[in-house]
Amino acid sequence: MNLLHLFDLSLIARRDQIALEWESAEFTFGEIENRSNRLAHVLRARGLAKGDRLAVYLANRIELIDLYLACVKLGVIFVPINILYRDREIAHITGDAEPRFVIREADLASLINEAESASSERPDEDLDGDTPAAIIYTSGTTGASKGAVLTHNNFAANAVNLLTMWQISDRDRFLLALPLFHIHALGNGLHCWLGSGCRMRLLERFDHGTALDEFNAFQPTLFFGVPTIYVRLLETPPDSAREIGARMRLFVSGSAPLPANVFDRFRELFGHAILERYGMTETFMTMSNPYIGERRAGTVGFPLPGISVRIEDGELLVRGPNVFAGYWRRPDATAAAFTDGWFRTGDLASRSDDGYYTLLGRKSDLIISGGFNIYPREIEELLLEQPGVAEAAVVGVPDELRGEVPVAFIVPVPESALDIDALERICREQLASFKVPRQFVRVDSIPRTALGKAQKHLLPR
């Protein structure tokens, strides 16, 4: 089977049902099917064939969905590019993936014009589960980004897991404000929408200024976010938060660790325990807190069905149908990423006696000070609990005596009096002495990816 067998549960079986809201317009699943078919014929006429790459540099919009579905139908490999990337970063991806075309906003008008007269019949192509569907480039925090090759089976296995374990159905109303160039929105959001047949409203981006209007107008039951979005939603007036929460079924968070204090404050305000899960570009979703059962703050729950995990020397290893096919044209990097069929995530983790997994940070972020292991996230969680601290990131800096020592970078809450001495005192009271940051540095912001993941390598050392 291939992805179209999953999508046809909606594109064909629900063709007259409203599928998508975009910029005040509504589209049925049948219209989505026909739009992508016409575009597929245009791309084929332009010379694109199975196995070719098509790079797309677009913000969220319906044409991005059309292009992705057209690529799936043709067996063309979809290569989304982060819309925040600039010439140097774009050149790296296009030089590596060697797409036949790069589609930007300026290219859409001619594509749409050609598609108006194209056939709306679905093009035929020989596809199976091992056919590559996309190459998504990693964030590249330790050097040039690598392209993860993701197959039809990878996407489908992930979608079926989430549809089942999060109970997503055609009764849901799904508000999607995350960027479709990222695995979070593309792999989870788009595929759960098409697999379930729910009604989706797509936003170009999450805008804190209009977020409440979107929630109240669309009245979603399902929302996927990242921690920075949930932090902003904590500013919602209590009455509005209760109204939104009363209509919602499920809030999900991922792409970066959700601070425990945000989890607790959100539950008090909205009446919902955010479901935190764990995944990465190379593995899709690996673990999730339960839909039914305790959603434990600070943890990522249990492995999803069909996925095996183990901890080896503190590092989380993963095996299952969710794991990618390898890095594009990087056999060396692919070989280094696997051990006896297990993918090395680079994430440090622990497991509780009752099976909940907790992420301890990236292996590359581990600080070894005087022979002791220091997990930055433990310190960051403590700092984030303190008044006056909006964001915190802990990194290791070289030290002649101890090898490395921790340093904390703090973003203060606006217009608050941040007491550095009090922070240090609390750390000394609640942490072992070797974990106490040797310095607390005020900064205006923590550099982050488009999905809110801290880019610690960009902090001054």
Q: What does the pLDDT profile of the chain (461 residues) look like in tens digits?
A: 999 999 999 999 999 999 999 999 999 999 999 999 999 999 999 999 999 999 999 999 999 999 999 999 999 999 999 998 889 889 999 999 999 999 999 999 999 999 999 999 999 999 999 999 999 998 654 557 899 999 999 999 999 999 999 999 999 999 999 999 999 999 999 999 999 999 999 999 999 999 999 999 999 999 999 988 998 999 999 999 999 999 999 999 998 889 899 999 999 999 999 999 999 999 999 999 999 999 999 999 999 999 999 999 999 999 999 999 999 999 999 999 999 999 999 999 999 999 999 998 888 888 988 878 888 988 998 999 999 999 999 999 988 778 889 999 999 998 888 899 999 999 999 998 889 999 999 999 999 888 788 888 888 87
pLDDT at 57: 97
pLDDT of residue 140: 54
Task: Give the residues across from 347 on adjacent strands.
Answer: 362
Matching residue, tokens 């305790």: 294
The pLDDT value given to residue 143? 59
Its pTM surpasses 0.75: yes
Query: If we measure between CA atoms, which residue out of 460, 459, 450, 456 comes closest to residue 138?
Result: 450
Task: Please tell me the predicted confidence (pLDDT) of residue 327.
Answer: 97
Residue 406 forms beta bridges with which residues? 396
- What is the three-state SS of the chain? CCHHHHHHHHHCCCCCCEEEEECCEEEEHHHHHHHHHHHHHHHHHCCCCCCCEEEECCCCCHHHHHHHHHHHHHCCEEEECCCCCCHHHHHHHHHHHCCCEEECHHHHHHHHHHHCCCCCCCCCCCCCCCCEEEEEECCCCCCCCCEEEEEHHHHHHHHHHHHHHCCCCCCCEEEECCCCCCHHHHHHHHHHHHHHCCEEEECCCCCCCCHHHHHHHHCCCEEEECHHHHHHHCCCCHHHHHHHHHHCCEEEECCCCCCHHHHHHHHHHHCCCCEEEEEECCCEEEEECCCCCCCCCCCCEEECCCCEEEEECCEEEEECCCCCCEECCCHHHHHHHEECCEEEEEEEEEECCCCCEEEEEEHHHCEEECCEEECHHHHHHHHHCCCCEEEEEEEEEEECCCEEEEEEEEEECCCCCCCHHHHHHHHHHHCCHHHCCCEEEECCCCCECCCCCECHHHCCC
Q: What is the pLDDT of residue 351?
A: 98
* Helix 260-270, helix 376-384: angle, nearest 10: 40
